[in-house]
Structure 1
């Protein structure tokens, strides 16, 4: 079983970037959760699937109870962080697990858009945000195959989850505006961040090719 420092190094190597203080704090928390799960023999893929199930439940609940939907999506987002930690700590990071994790992430991204749409956001905005997010991840995959280290952008998956959770909770509380307004604001924010992140990646790839 990896120590905490070994885990942090493994994460940095896998992502090609040194984590910020905020990210490092989250990684330490994920490590604490991963250790007992690793001892129990919990599969990283099982955690990934659980995360998708929670996000799906949140997207379904968002139509009537946006705040509850946001909380369920937040729990799914936590699973998304812990599954990778378990894989690294247990030494079970492999191609099959990576494929399961990537598939669950993309389904989860789609469900984030569904949740905002269910809460009252325009469907076309949610759909476009999801599509641009998919393009963002596709470009990153191509870059990794070319062994380009691009670092992080403003539209990483944790950011997408956090934005959705924040605006769904605000929609449920109904502070200053109704649920539809908050959900729409969340969808537009997701779209703008996804577009900005994609531009960042393309700019870094262009710079690396020179």
Structure 2
């Protein structure tokens, strides 16, 4: 499959958004996934295997966090690799012609479980449980509203909000890295830095939910 063919199919799966017309960063990310996905497809690696690998990486993050600040730094790397796998399973599915509705469901479920694992890592590192639960609930509600709106007839994703999954990835990685660095300066700063990270996560989810709710009302009115 050529890059242009891949871009057309990818666009159809993402609300008509053409990666060839995107910013250099987004275009580079999608094209990178295409190249790595092509290599995986040539080596007979299926999309489900990539999804499961990404999920395993996510589940390892709270285990790494149990070891303290060094584990948080390792957790940041695990989240980055899991995010890469999240993009690659779809690429492999497109390239191998194995796009299925069940695969879409598996991928979405793996994403939600992975995010729970990231928040669990914050919790075991010292963030209050109520705050991590609120952040997770806001993320879940963000995705649930979009899913129900699509089922109700919304023709596309509605709007790209400030609380999308890439934002959660960025907040998690940044929070883990900054907390690990803070521990080198003042060990007692680790937990406050993580609390700030989860607070930012929650705030962006609530703003994103408001943006999405407005778009859903406009689309279904």
TM-score clears 0.5:
yes
Deviation at 1:17, TM superposition (A): 4.5
Root-mean-square deviation (CA), in Å?
A: 1.5
Q: Among 69, 89, 93, which residue is 2:95 paired with?
A: 89
**1: CA distance, partners of 2:16 / 2:117:** 28
Q: What is the SS of the residue equivalent to 1:155?
A: coil
* Number of aligned positions between the proteins: 209
* 1:160 aligns to 2:168 (yes or no): yes
Q: What aligned pairs does 1:110-125 form with structure 2 within 5 A after superposition?
A: 110-125=116-131
CA offsets 1:42-80 (integer angstroms, 9 cap, x no match): 111111111111111112212322111111111111111
Match of 2:59 among 50, 56, 75: 56
Distance 1:7 1:163 in 2: 29
2:51 aligned with 1:44: no
Q: Which runs of 5+ in 1 are unaligned?
A: none
Deviation string for 1:88-111 (max 9, x for gaps)? 111111012112111111101111
Per the alignment, in what secondary structure is the counterpart of residue 68 of structure 1? helix
**What is the distance in 2 between the residues matched to 1:6 and 1:193?**
35
Please report how far the alpha carbon of residue 119 of structure 1 lies from its aligned counterpart in structure 2 after TM superposition. 2.2
Mapped partners of 1:192, 1:23: distance in 2: 24
Larger Rg: 2
Contact 1:112 1:161 in 2 (8 A): no
- Would the aligned equivalents of 2:57 and 2:78 in 1 still touch at CA under 8 Å? yes
After TM superposition, give the deviation of residue 201 of structure 1 in Å.
Answer: 0.9
In 1, the alpha carbon distance for the partners of 2:112 and 2:72 equals 22
| 1:1-210 alignment runs, 5 A limit | 2-18=1-17, 19=19, 20-21=22-23, 22-63=25-66, 64=68, 65-145=71-151, 146-149=153-156, 150-174=158-182, 178-210=189-221
1:31, distance to aligned residue in structure 2 (A):
0.7
Contact 2:159 2:211 in 1 (8 A): no
For 1:165-200, what per-residue CA distance to the aligned partner results, in whole angstroms no more than 9, with x for missing partners? 111011111176621011111100110111111111
TM-score using structure 2 length: 0.89
Question: In 2, distance between residues paired with 1:6 and 1:159?
Answer: 28
Q: Structure 2 stretches of 5 or more lacking a match?
A: none
Which whole-Å CA distance do the structure 1 matches of 2:58 and 2:114 have between them? 6
TM-score normalised per structure 1: 0.93
- Alpha-carbon distance in 2 for matches of 1:28, 1:208: 31
Conserved? CA contact 1:16–1:151, under 8 Å: no
